[in-house]
Structure 1
Amino acid sequence: MKIKSQKNAMWLFFSSVKLSVFLLFTLALVSVFGTIIAQGQSIEYYKSTFGHLWGTVIPLIGMDDTYHSFWYRLLMGLLSLNIIVCSIDRLFATWSIIFPKTHTVKANRFRNKPDRQIFNARSTMTQLRDPIRLFLSKKWTHFELFSTDTGFYCYGETGRKSRLGVYAVHVSILLMITGGIIGSFFGFDGYIQISEGESTNYLVIGQNQKIELPFTIQCDDFSVSYYDNGTPSEFKSILTLKRDNKTFFTRPILVNHPLRYEGINIFQSSYGLLTPEYRQKLPETVVLFFQNPKTRLSYPVKGKLNERVPLPEGKGFLPFKIIRHPIALVVIIWGRH
């Protein structure tokens, strides 16, 4: 009896709706902290941002990598178990309602309802039976008419299978949680910084860990469009994926429009200034061609960087100076959506 009581207590605990609310609230709260707190930073960063105490606690409890932490996976596992037990616990009662073997109707249940209606008919019971059957059978999906010693009564209902909708919701939640757990174990997310014309075949996870990709990503072009007030409205990169020095396709990527290939999602997260390494590769001498729109004459203008060169036809001077050069900052995520 003691073992049975313990089993019942455990079953009641995991079939509790209060447990579902608690787990959902906890996961939502933790996800908020995981979004607010920068992930994958050094302990020095957390100490300088949150102070010595919390800067030490955050990496200690795994908040620096929230979605891969043991306790976050445990919360998702407990929520999955809670949903499964709740579904099983209520399935048999729901099934008996959707597919009843017999219908039991108590007349007093309807006589005592405040919205009941009573009317007198001049027709006999036999004359009323068929018209009522025909009318109500069109209104209700499940309709039956039963005879009694004093007359007859009708039983009907609609939307019976809609009670299965909650199980469809439960299955969809379990699929999302399963995908999240699989992604937390086998997935990864990191970033790479690629300048225009450059390519790479690895990404950086956390601070220094590098993962080699099964292909090479090359940034062919980058462009930014602006609103009238000067703020960026859209930035786009043209990426080429290569393998064994062979190009297999070229695609543009925009913010919230990633490139997906072999389970790897390539997102464009931001852009920034030209890196010092790329600056060193720029030529010292630049040649630009100017064309007069009226005469259609073209003029080559040759000059060195950081110098002012005269424009054709005495139109002034042009400084050859690299102020900023955009780069694509790409985030690679595998096993997540």
Structure 2
Amino acid sequence: MTVTQERPAAPAAPPPRRPNRLWALLRNSWRQLTSMRTALVLLFLLAIAAIPGSVFPQRAVNTERVTRYYQAHPQLAPWVERLGGFEVYASPWFASIYLLLFTSLVGCIIPRIADHVRALRQAPPDAPKRLQRLPQFADLGSRTGAPAEVASNVAGMLRRHRFRTRVRESEDGSWTVSAEKGYLKETGNLFFHTALLAVLLGVGFGHWYGWHANRILVGGNDSGFCNTLTQYDDSTLGPRVEPSDLPNFCLRLSDFDATFQSTGQPKSFSATVGVSENNGPYETRKFTVNDPLRLDGANVYLLGHGYAPVLKYTDRYGVSQTKVVPFLPMDAMQTSEGVAQFPDVNIDPKTDKRDSTLQMGFEGVYLPTAPTDGRATSVFPAENNPMLYLSAFRGDLGLDVGTPGSVYSLDQSQITSGDLKKVSGDRPYALKLGDTWTLDDGTKLEFVGTRPFATLSIRHDPTQLLALAGAVVGLIGLMFSLSGRRRRVWFRVSQNADLAGSPGESGGTLLTAGGLPRTDYPGFEAEFKALVKAAEEGTP
């Protein structure tokens, strides 16, 4: 009887592991994001996204231009506001491109730096077996001397030409000299991208820890201001900045000097100010458009200038008020528009009560040099023939309701509703310096004179030096990247069997050379020939 023994069944193979699709998606997305192509695309998108910042006025730079844009384009301006066109560099869509580019550069640069350091530490590779197959090849013929001596002389010559060299002895008794040059190209590339990263860091941290503000500073000791948020026309603090962090200084405009060419084009702007730092005495300082005033932790830039008419209003009870009101320039010839509002006038001295229906507002334009034909447009930016054209309004100015409004124009809704009525007729009233205008109720408005004003931008950027250093290093790296050429050269020194076997000869060598450019390098052929010639002259 035959007993058949059954073998145990082989264990079933484990089912193949299903790939994690989420992990694969994340890995592929990261590789795509950190590729050089994506970084270039994001850099191009960032440049395109910055274009609206130069097309539309930016509130952080000049709020007056934003106000004028609203007046000139009342229907388009709200849409531009919704899309962040007046604050491009603080908009979410610009920040998203910025952060993606920053992430892409970090993920791209770090592996490349590791690879570059590894390549610098490695010796040049050994010579290929057949040098004649390389793009450049030369047979230098027979040389006298031992192969090791000839190889040492060739290596010394290559080092003098700033090549990294390595001398090796082969198993067949021949010697090879490997030389490599041109790592400066990749070094320059890494410098450029690291510098770009530094610039992005500087811009980002500058936004966090920086602040900026704008102020119209009218000339005169009574019109100065101190560095507090309440005394600025508009201001923006970084997320990491508190109002108490602002440096302690005060400014007042002593004089403003503007010169113009005969065509009206500005020649020079110069502001003389009194500066008090840390509650100290006022010191006289001077600065221009291209030379900002540098204070402790802040730079004061001169953006523009204009004129502020001085108006004196005498109400029906004989009480006078004088106001200095800046008029905003509308063109290069300083045709300026503005408004003077007197809400606290015509107060009955018997009851000491103010009638809101008797408030006064004057709106119009100021011409530094009025033309002789009566046109309401200045013909030169300097004050050669100053003229003020005003329209008078009486009623409720709408200042008591607390609704924010422009200080350079009257509330049009009050005029539309009839709460503010025009009392000066259809044509504006023209006033020269010193003229007095008597209104229908006996009140008077006198054009006393003008004062210059300067538009100032006060900024603090703690990473300004980092951004500047990044720009300089990036420029140097770009120069290295464009000038560097990667190439390799090999020399093989082998025993000359024919010469070694000749009677009376002690031995000899054969010297061959080959070269390979790693990048497009039109001048490599000439350089290779120069190296071959130097090797011939250095080895007898």
Contact 1:15 1:89 in 2 (8 A): no
Q: Describe the shift of the 1:187–1:49 C-alpha distance in structure 2 as closer, same or farther (beyond 3 A).
A: farther
CA displacement 1:13-46 (0-9 Å, x = unmatched):
2212232222222221221101211233699866
Given the superposition, is the C-alpha separation of residues 104 and 242 from structure 1 closer, same or farther in structure 2, using an over 3 Å criterion?
same
Question: Aligned equivalents of 1:135 and 1:168: distance in 2?
Answer: 30
**Counterparts of residues 68-107 of structure 1 (less than 5 Å):** 68-100=90-122, 102-107=123-128
Shift of 1:84: 0.1
Could you say which structure has the larger radius of gyration? Answer: 2
Give the equivalent residue in structure 2 for 1:326: 452
In structure 2, C-alpha distance between the alignment counterparts of 1:231 and 1:324, rounded to whole Å = 21
1:26-105 alignment runs, 5 A limit: 26-40=45-59, 49-50=72-73, 52=75, 54-100=76-122, 102-105=123-126
Mapped to 2, the partners of 1:44 and 1:255 lie a distance apart of 23
Q: Which moved more, 1:159-168 or 1:195-204?
A: 159-168
- What amino acid does structure 2 have at the position aligned with 1:27? L
SS at match of 1:170: helix
Which residue is equivalent to 2:191? 168
Q: What are the ranges of 5 or more consecutive residues in structure 1 without an aligned counterpart?
A: 283-304, 308-320
- Aligned counterpart, 1:286: none
Cα distance change, pair 275–159 in 1 and its aligned pair in 2 (3 A): farther
Structure 2 residue aligned with 1:204: 233
Name the SS for the 1:276 alignment partner.
Answer: strand
Q: 1:277 to 1:259 in 2, by over 3 A?
A: farther
Indicate which of 214, 237, 254 corresponds to 1:220: 254
Alignment check: 8 A CA contact 1:142 1:158 kept: yes
Query: 1: distance between equivalents of 2:270 and 2:198?
Result: 33
Question: Which of 142, 156, 159 lines up with 1:121 in the alignment?
Answer: 142
- Distance (whole Å) between structure 2 residues aligned to residue 223 and residue 116 of structure 1: 72
Q: For the residues of structure 2 that align with 1:277 and 1:21, how far apart are their CA atoms?
A: 58
Q: TM-score of the superposition, structure 2-length normalised? A: 0.49
State the secondary structure of the residue aligned to 2:220: coil
Offset of 1:7 from its aligned partner?
3.5
Indicate how the Cα distance of structure 1 residues 36 and 250 shifts in structure 2: closer, same or farther if over 3 A, else same: same
Range with greater deviation from structure 2 (272-281 or 257-266)? 272-281
Which whole-Å CA distance do the structure 1 matches of 2:265 and 2:52 have between them? 29
Does 2:184 match 1:184? no
- Structure with the higher fraction of residues in helix conformation: 1
Deviates more, 1:41-50 or 1:226-235: 41-50
Structure 1 contact 306–322 (Cα < 8 Å) conserved: yes
CA distances 1:127-173 after superposition (whole Å, capped 9, x unpaired):
53343233222113422222222421111223435533333222322
- Once superposed, what is the RMSD of the aligned Cα atoms? 3.4
2:162 pairs with one of 140, 143, 157? 140
CA distance in 1, matches of 2:250, 2:309: 20
Q: Structure with the greater relative contact order (CA < 8 A, sep ≥ 6): 1 or 2?
A: 2
Structure 1 CA distance, aligned partners of 2:133 and 2:56?
60
The 3 A distance-change label for structure 1 pair 135 and 243 is closer
Q: Percent identity?
A: 19
